[in-house]
């Protein structure tokens, strides 16, 4: 195997033994921590790249070592090898990819150090690589298949992390449904927007973000500042970012995902087509994940009831074309459920809820012609009228 290399100053991440590629040349190196002292890691290479591992060798590693590691700088290479290996299930692949995404979000929300330009720029590129791996796994999924996949993944203590990853996944699928010929680059970009849509919450106290009870008016006023805060962070710290068009699009998602179709949203009160198309997709993804993804402390609704509840927000919060593209698959599988309850118009999907704040159902006339009689086109394509 050649002489081991010491990599004490490098960063590493652990990998599961059953998710190491075998029978073909490795595109990354494997390391172990040779130190027995906690906090004094000493990483040694045990297998080089460009050589093939057998299943028996992996089993020998499992018996000999407690954990194996890959260089952080090889994370994107590892993810690519994972997503292209057909012997791994989509659930296992997505779990690893989700952990990588949460690692990047953790970097952003680390309150022990300043979020400077270098950290944010590196994190943005890491998010791009991770979302690209996500797209490779889920691009042909339906909403229902993705919901089931998300339901099988582990969740974490910080709601914002899980929610942001889930919203990213749903954004990718929804864009594909609205625009079937969408490119991987576009899916990756909207996925990045979904992953970073709550970036501005780095400036919101954790006590408010993790409050599972009813927010006070003062707390909600603080929450409402996060879209603008996210845009400001991106503008200030990424002024020299080379992919300016990408950052501009991400800023629109970050800043506009709480704008409403009827102009009653925040922070700017934008309406209709003045809201970026990706942000309008993000709004649907945000809403759906908040009420259907099971967590240890919250009640959730079934997919068909979610469609019924969300449909009552079409024309107010949500865009009709995007909602129809999203709901079509859910209704095909589950049918529609008669509505018996509703959520308030100021429902905040991106904070955890111990109990979803349902209200008594009020009769209302749904607006099925939100975008007018003609087919609306935009820079991102359109959905044909049914």
- 364 pLDDT exceeds 80? no
pLDDT of residue 341: 82
pLDDT of residue 363: 56
Q: Using one digit for the tens of pLDDT, what is the confidence trace for 55-83? A: 999 999 999 999 999 999 999 999 999 99
Report residue 372 as tokens. 């007018």
What stretch of H or E contains 292?
A: helix 277-292
Class of domain 91-360: mainly alpha
CB 223 within 8 A of CB 208: yes
pLDDT of residue 358: 84
Residues in the chain: 386
- Mean predicted confidence (pLDDT) in 327-349: 80
Determine whether 296 is exposed, middle or buried from the number of CB atoms within 10 Å of its CB (0-12, 13-18, 19+).
exposed
What are the sequence ranges of the domains in the chain? Answer: 1-88, 91-360
Which of the two residues, 210 and 284, has the higher pLDDT score? Answer: 284
Sign of the Cα torsion 86, 91, 94, 96 reads negative
- 7 pLDDT exceeds 60? no
Determine whether 197 is exposed, middle or buried from the number of CB atoms within 10 Å of its CB (0-12, 13-18, 19+).
buried
- Mean predicted confidence (pLDDT) in 312-323: 94
- 206 pLDDT exceeds 90? no
Q: Using one digit for the tens of pLDDT, what is the confidence trace for 43-58? A: 999 999 999 999 999 9
Predicted confidence band of residue 365 (pLDDT cuts 50, 70, 90): very low
Q: For residue 376, how many C-alpha atoms fall within 13 Å in the half-sphere facing its CB?
A: 16
% of residues, the chain, pLDDT over 70: 90
Predicted confidence band of residue 297 (pLDDT cuts 50, 70, 90): low
- Mean pLDDT (the chain) is 87
pLDDT of residue 68: 96
Which of the two residues, 5 and 294, has the higher pLDDT score? Answer: 294
Determine whether 224 is exposed, middle or buried from the number of CB atoms within 10 Å of its CB (0-12, 13-18, 19+).
middle
C-alpha distance from residue 364 to each of 311, 342, 355 (Å): 11, 11, 24
Determine whether 160 is exposed, middle or buried from the number of CB atoms within 10 Å of its CB (0-12, 13-18, 19+).
buried
């Amino acid at each position: 195997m050649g002489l081991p290399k010491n990599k004490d100053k490098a960063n590493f991440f652990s990998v599961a033994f059953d998710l190491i590629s075998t029978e073909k040349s490795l595109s990354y190196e494997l390391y172990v921590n040779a130190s027995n002292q906690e906090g004094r890691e000493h990483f040694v290479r045990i297998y080089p790249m460009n050589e093939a591992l057998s299943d028996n060798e992996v089993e020998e590693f499992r018996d000999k070592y407690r954990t194996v590691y890959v260089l952080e700088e090889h994370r994107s290479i590892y993810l690519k090898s994972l997503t292209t290996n057909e012997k791994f299930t989509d659930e296992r692949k997505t779990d690893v990819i989700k952990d990588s995404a949460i690692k990047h979000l953790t970097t952003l929300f680390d309150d022990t150090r300043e979020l400077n330009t270098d950290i944010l720029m590196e994190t943005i590129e890491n998010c791009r690589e991770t979302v690209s791996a996500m797209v490779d796994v889920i691009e042909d999924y339906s909403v229902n298949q993705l919901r089931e996949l998300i339901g099988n993944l582990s969740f974490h203590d910080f709601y914002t992390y899980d929610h942001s990853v889930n919203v990213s996944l749903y954004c990718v699928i929804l864009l594909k449904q609205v625009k079937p010929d969408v490119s991987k680059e576009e899916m990756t970009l909207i996925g990045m927007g979904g992953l970073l849509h709550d970036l501005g919450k780095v400036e919101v106290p954790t006590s408010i973000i993790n409050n599972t009870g009813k927010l006070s008016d003062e707390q909600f006023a603080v929450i409402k500042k996060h879209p603008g805060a996210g845009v400001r962070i991106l503008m200030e710290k990424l002024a020299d970012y080379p992919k300016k068009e990408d950052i501009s699009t991400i800023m629109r998602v970050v800043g506009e995902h709480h704008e409403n179709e009827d102009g009653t949203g925040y922070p700017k009160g934008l309406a209709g087509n003045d809201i970026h198309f990706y942000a309008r997709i993000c709004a649907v993804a945000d809403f759906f994940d908040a009420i259907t993804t099971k967590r240890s402390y919250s009640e959730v609704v079934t997919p068909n009831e979610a469609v019924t509840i969300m449909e009552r927000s079409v024309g107010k919060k949500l865009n009709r074309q995007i909602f129809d593209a999203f709901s079509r698959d859910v209704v095909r599988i589950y049918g529609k459920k008669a509505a018996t309850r509703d959520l308030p118009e100021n429902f905040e999907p991106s904070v955890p809820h111990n109990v979803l704040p349902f209200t008594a159902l009020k009769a209302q006339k749904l607006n099925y012609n939100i975008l007018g009689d003609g087919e609306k086109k935009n820079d991102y394509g359109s959905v044909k009228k049914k």
